[in-house]
Amino acid sequence: MVQAIVPGAVEARQDLPTNIISRPVDAVIRFIGQLAAWLWVATIAVITINVVDRFMFGRGSIALEELSWHFFGAAMLLSLSYAVVTDDHVRVDFLRERFSLKTRAWIELLALVLLAMPVFWIVLEETYSYAMRSYVSGERSQAPSGLPNRFIIKGAMPLGFTLLMLAFASRALRCISFLFGFPRPFWPHGRGPVSDNAEQSSGGA
């Protein structure tokens, strides 16, 4: 007997279903993440201009140097939530790939609810206060020729962590949809969950 993989079965096992809540949340986060990707282009452009200006013309700009790491920091913060909803963040894959989808969903749900969300809620509160203090005090760069309005980059921190919390909540809801069937799960391309024993089917010898 020749063992054949059912088309789409493995892919179906690897994907959590979406639901009526997670779909729009994920769509918004993806859109913001795609916009934030242009910040990487801006970062490279500013760094290139500053390097050329410094080494070819003997000039340097503190403002451009600060702007480059502002762009870099904002891009990182706004990309974290995108990595979560697209499932592109770092995992211990050599362990994870050995688990069934149900086991992975339970691990992910417990990790999100008991670890990630409480920790990042505290971080969100702290970064919000951090940005507000910067705004109220009118903080600017300590360098005379540096950038003003330091609250803008500091405000990117609570914004990024707010998006990350939404991404965590959406991911947790997807796990709940798979494990408990509520909210109603929507499977990719109309496929339902595939059991571990259904990954292979027998074919002709």
pLDDT reported for residue 40? 94
pLDDT reported for residue 198? 43
Residues 184 and 19: beta-carbon distance below 8 Å: yes
pLDDT reported for residue 92? 56
10-31 mean pLDDT: 82
For the segment 110-122, what is each residue's pLDDT rounded down to a tens digit?
999 999 999 999 9
pTM over 0.75: yes
What are the φ/ψ torsions at residue 139 (nearest 5 degrees)?
-60, 140
Q: Which of 5-9, 33-37, 201-205 has the highest mean pLDDT?
A: 33-37
Residues 183 and 23: beta-carbon distance below 8 Å: no
For the segment 76-94, what is each residue's pLDDT rounded down to a tens digit?
999 999 999 988 766 656 6
Q: Is residue 65 within a helix (H) or strand (E), and if so which, with residue range?
A: helix 62-85
DSSP H helical ranges for 1-21: 9-14
User: With 90 as the cut, is the pLDDT of residue 55 above it?
Assistant: no
